[in-house]
Amino acid sequence: MSSNRYPIIYVRGYAMTEAERDDTAADPFCGFNVGSTVYRATVKKNAPAQKFVFESPVVRLLADYQYQSVYQNGLDILDDDWKPSPDETGKDVNGIAAASIVIYRYYDSGSELLGDGKSRDVKVYAQGLGKLILRVRDLVALREGSAFSAADFRCYLVAHSMGGLVVRAFLQNPALGDAAARACVDKVFTYATPHNGIDMGGVNVPAWLTANEMNTFNRERMSEFLDTAPVDGRMDYLPAAAFPADRFFCMVGSNRGDYEAAKGLSRMFAGHGSDGLVRIENASLWSIDDAKRSKPVATAYAFRSHSGYFGIVNSEEAYQNLVRFLFGDVRVDLWFEVDGVTLPPDLPKDADVDALYQVELLAAPRGKRWYLSRRVAEEDSPACRTHKELTDPERPERRSIYLSTVFLANKARVKQDRPTLAYAMTLGVRVPDYQVNKKFWLDGHYEGSSLFRDTLVIEIAPPRADDPAQNWNVKYGWQTDTAGQASLPMSPKQLADGKLQFIVPLSSLGAAPAAPGISGKVRLEVSAWS
């Protein structure tokens, strides 16, 4: 396996009823083949949708990256009499290509069409995933022949919703699979997975709700099948011993309004700050690094719902994050470091003051019509800190705000002869709603105004292959300072984990001219990616 075109194994999400399991069993690609022609450019649901054709992840992977389906003569690779398709000359071949899309059809046995109609425990699905991985490994070995090394085999796991919990159960619980199968997993990408369970009306799904395995999303139940103790009552912790956090990606949706399941009841009970089913705060993961510091798993946000016409799996934004994470060349982790905040000068002195600061981000690569990450206050997806958090000397880590991670790809350059990769990030901090003695302070409040707003352009030239020093050339420019040209050089700081850290001071023209205000800098952690 000489390239990074490893097999992609797709693990679909939850199908609650027998009818839904039948629909899943009847679909060859379990929803990974569903596309869309519409997207929301605004949070207003009554505004007309915009046209944007996205063919589906399956079609695009086949067209853009020459992946192949493994179905042949109406059979799947787990069927006893399956045999691979002939090559382009009609000659029989063995096994499957490394660049294959494999669908984990774990709901077949629970459908009335192909099974007994009964749902299974998530642990059964996790065990089946391990067996499928080993089957894929053996089939790739047959195709590769004598050049194949089992120790070098790798695959990608891509999962939607509950499928991500199936993947985590397989990775985190040693009792649910072969260690050899777990060692095969190179990267994991999850769409809208409830990594910290599902809450409805502010209450976690109860453990006693066993019908159709609905208690899979209960945190106590999750602790049991993940074989992981909760941390502060939460289950979104990824142990480093189970899987490296740097190889995991969480795609999070923020459009609750277009999720139509249960005639809209789901989005009503999931509430604001969700994709209609999974709350934004529950859809990502964190881990602990070698220095015993907490670190977020790579995360990006899209104004997409849990599923449907405006769903997250069938979206260009999520697809671009998927393929850049799997096949990209440069990783950039985006942070906002707050140095200080100032209050309005006419606030009552010695009053008990608090406020909620909303930090917004729009990150887009050069020449594209979509965002790699989109965090906007109206969509309930900004990063938030209170005034007390940002001014507490005992908690300096709260002034370091993770925004998102973007992956850049040489393949996606607008001009292939240009050696640099570029993206723009719009950073905004809304003027907060100040509370004085726990009451909203009206004087001086202007809805929608900002403490800071500007667009930063970053241009990155990775090291040339013939450069013995392997130097990175990174430049930046704020829209208000350099008219959007990345013309100002940056000097990196080498970090212990091999990444390079670049610091960008905030532009003076993007900030509010007087108090209230915010000061700080953008921190970029840049590294080569493969």
206 vs 249, 468, 526, CA distance in Å? Answer: 28, 58, 42
- Judge whether 303 and 376 are in contact, CB under 8 Å: yes
- Considering only CA atoms, which of 179, 156, 238 is closest in space to residue 530? 156
Q: Quick one: DSSP state of residue 7?
A: P
Domain boundaries, the chain: 1-327, 328-530
| CA 348 to centroid of chain Cα atoms | 43
Classify burial at 124, counting beta carbons within 10 Å of its beta carbon; exposed 0-12, middle 13-18, buried 19 or more.
middle
Peptide bond into 296 cis (omega under 30): no
**What confidence tier does 2 reach under pLDDT thresholds 50, 70, 90?**
low
Asked whether residue 74 carries a pLDDT value surpassing 70, the answer given is yes
Q: What is the pLDDT of residue 444?
A: 62
Q: What is the pLDDT of residue 211?
A: 84
What is the layout of strands, in order, in the sheet containing 493-494?
400-408, 330-342, 517-528, 500-505, 493-494
Fold designation for 1-327:
Rossmann fold (3.40.50)
For residue 8, the one-letter residue type is I
Identify the H or E element spanning 168: helix 162-172
Q: What is the pLDDT of residue 142?
A: 95
What does the DSSP assignment read for 204-273? EPPTT--GGGGGGG-HHHHHHHHT---BTTB--B--TTTS-GGGEEEEEE---TT--GGGGHHHHHH-SS
Average pLDDT over residues 93-104: 96
Residues 6 or more apart in contact with residue 209 via CB below 8 angstroms: 215, 218
- More confident: 269 or 91: 91
**What confidence tier does 144 reach under pLDDT thresholds 50, 70, 90?**
very high
Q: pLDDT tens digits for 457-470? A: 999 999 887 778 77
- Considering only CA atoms, which of 308, 322, 405 is closest in space to residue 58? 322
- Model confidence, pTM: 0.95
Per cent of the chain over pLDDT 70 is: 98
- More confident: 447 or 519: 519
Q: pLDDT tens digits for 397-408? A: 999 999 999 999
Q: pLDDT tens digits for 341-361? A: 999 888 887 888 889 999 999
- Judge whether 7 and 155 are in contact, CB under 8 Å: yes
Q: What is the pLDDT of residue 423?
A: 94
Average pLDDT over residues 208-235: 94
Q: Quick one: DSSP state of residue 311?
A: B
Q: What is the pLDDT of residue 84?
A: 92
Residue indicated by tokens 């003076």 = 508
Q: What is the pLDDT of residue 448?
A: 66
Q: Quick one: DSSP state of residue 146?
A: G
Helices assigned H by DSSP within 405-499: 479-482
Tokens, residue 390 = 């940002």
Q: How far is 135 from 127, CA to CA, in rounded Å?
A: 13
Tokens, residue 326 = 């799997």
What does the DSSP assignment read for 429-474? EEPP--EETTEE--TT--TT-EEEEEEEEEEEEPPPTT-TT---EE
Angle made by CA atoms 92, 103, 105, in degrees to the nearest 5: 115
Q: What is the pLDDT of residue 278?
A: 97
Per cent of the chain over pLDDT 90 is: 74
Q: Quick one: DSSP state of residue 169?
A: H
Q: How far is 167 from 433, CA to CA, in rounded Å?
A: 41
Asked whether residue 207 carries a pLDDT value surpassing 70, the answer given is yes
Q: Average per-residue pLDDT in the chain?
A: 92
Q: What is the pLDDT of residue 147?
A: 85
Q: pLDDT tens digits for 471-496? A: 899 999 999 998 889 999 999 999 88
- Considering only CA atoms, which of 322, 152, 151 is closest in space to residue 248? 322
Average pLDDT over residues 128-150: 95
